[in-house]
Each structure stands twice: as structure tokens, then as C-alpha cells.
């Protein structure tokens, strides 16, 4: 689906070597974006079968990251261009599925001062680090400014905190979102976004945690979120929150 300024595309591949799947999928997506003259990645959703399992002694999420990075290298994509917002969730069956929102203009990558940028993660998380920013801000000449917040979890620096404690993890996730919002508002030069006005999705590893997580988020004023059960990119993460924000024209004046 394409408009004058945006393109939304999905690629789905049958089950095969995940590293090869990832390479092929991103090759196809990046070529499509170039061909359609909508080359700037804004937001990506990656749905990876059995994301926390191991193939040949290597975690499947790490295999996915290697294929993705190789496709970016082939296309000439560089981190200095500003990595898009993204998430990676696990599915129980089927092949790799990737959805992408791209635009005719680039977004501004926003990072979180509480976290190491994903593409600088140390080798303990795999030979090839993930490629995404903590958020992407798209200022529009007319229409709302858009903020895409990546899947955000209980990670400080590069380490998972509060293993096994769902409530502590969702609290840390919200602290990280607040830090991202602060960075985005600083970059924009105005208080454009806040927790209460965000919309988004909450991924919980265990369905039994729904009430605990939803009650906490509602207490923070985060009322415009839906919930899905999914595996998360690290086996020790129990919850992840992704969001979008809009700022009306004139908010930066």
C-alpha cells in the first residue's frame, strides 16, 4: 500500500534457514523501497519463528540479525543515516514475516541515554548486533509530527534487569519510554509527546501476566494500548512495549 509520502509493505517467507530467510526478506524489502522511490525506513515489525530457540548452537534471533545486517550492507545502508524504529517478536510456527513503514523523507533517530544503542551491543548478544533506534521522529511540513517508539523492555545499558519479575520489568520499560520521550522532546525543542497520549501494543510472554501489566500501565495513564502474547527477543524478557505518538501542527512554534 502506497500514498504520495508513505509505503507500507509486508514480506512473508516459508520456513527455511533463518539467516538466509532474513537476508532474502530484507533484500526484497529494500529493493522495493528503492523501486517505489520511498527509500527511508521509519518503522519495522519483525516476526521471527521460535525466536529464542537455537539452531546449530546459535540463537535464532542472532541468526536473524546476521541476515538482516548483511542485507543492509549490500544495499549501502549506513547507521549514520539513522536506524529506524523496530521490534522483533517470536511466533510459534510458520516462516519469517516482516512489515515495514517507509517514507519519502528520513526520520530523525532518537536514542535513550539509559541504554547502549542497539547497534553497539557487545558480542555477547551475537556476532551481528541488531539495527534499530529507540525511536524515530518524523517532522512533517503539514500534518502531525510522528514519533515511532521501538519495542522497549527492561534493559539498562545493554543488560536485562529484573529477570523473572514481570512487574519490575514493566516498570523499567516505562522508565525507558519516559527517557525516550524526554530525548525526543529535547530534540524537537518542545514538549510534543507524553505517556498519556501514546498509542501502542504491549507484548507479554505469559498470558497470566496480563492483569498485572495492564493495571500498572493504566495507573500510569497509558490507556490506549492493546495486548498480545508473544515471545520477546531475549529469553529473559517478559514484557515489551511499543508505541506511536502524534503532535499537532504548531506544537513546535
CB atoms within 10 A of CB 154: 27
Give the DSSP H/E element, type plus range, for residue 180. helix 166-188
Catalytic residue annotation: 240
Q: Does residue 80 sit in helix, strand or coil? A: helix
Which residue reads 496480563 in cell numbers?
Answer: 210
Distance CA 21, CA 80 (A): 26
Q: Which residues contact 112 (CB under 8 A, 6 or more apart)?
A: 134, 176, 179, 180, 183
Structural contact between residues 52 and 18, judged by C-beta atoms closer than 8 angstroms: no
Amino acid at each position: 500500500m502506497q500514498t504520495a509520502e508513505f509505503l507500507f509493505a509486508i514480506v512473508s517467507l516459508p520456513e527455511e534457514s533463518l539467516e538466509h530467510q532474513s537476508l532474502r526478506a530484507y533484500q526484497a524489502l529494500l529493493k522495493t523501497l528503492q523501486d517505489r522511490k520511498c527509500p527511508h525506513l521509519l518503522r519495522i515489525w519483525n516476526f521471527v519463528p521460535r525466536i529464542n530457540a537455537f539452531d546449530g548452537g546459535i540463537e535464532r534471533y542472532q541468526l536473524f540479525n546476521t541476515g538482516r545486517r548483511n542485507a543492509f550492507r549490500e544495499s549501502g545502508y549506513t547507521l549514520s543515516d539513522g536506524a529506524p524504529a523496530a521490534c522483533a517478536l517470536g511466533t510459534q510456527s510458520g516462516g519469517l514475516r516482516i512489515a515495514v513503514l517507509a517514507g519519502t523523507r528520513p526520520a530523525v533517530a532518537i536514542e535513550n541515554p539509559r541504554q547502549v544503542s542497539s547497534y553497539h551491543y557487545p558480542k555477547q548478544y551475537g556476532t551481528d548486533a541488531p539495527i534499530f533506534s529507540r525511536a524515530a521522529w518524523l517532522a512533517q511540513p503539514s500534518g502531525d509530527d510522528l514519533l515511532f517508539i521501538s519495542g522497549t523492555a527492561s534493559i539498562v545499558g545493554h543488560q536485562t534487569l529484573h529477570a523473572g519479575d514481570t512487574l519490575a520489568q514493566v516498570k523499567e520499560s516505562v522508565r525507558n519510554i519516559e527517557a525516550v520521550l524526554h530525548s525526543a522532546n529535547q530534540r524537537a525543542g518542545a514538549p510534543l509527546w507524553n505517556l498519556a497520549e501514546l498509542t501502542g501494543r504491549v507484548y507479554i510472554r505469559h498470558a497470566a501476566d496480563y492483569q498485572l501489566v495492564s493495571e500498572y500501565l493504566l495507573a500510569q495513564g497509558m490507556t490506549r494500548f492493546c495486548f498480545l502474547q508473544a515471545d520477546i527477543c531475549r529469553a529473559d524478557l517478559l514484557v515489551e512495549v511499543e508505541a506511536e505518538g502524534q503532535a499537532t501542527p504548531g506544537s513546535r512554534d
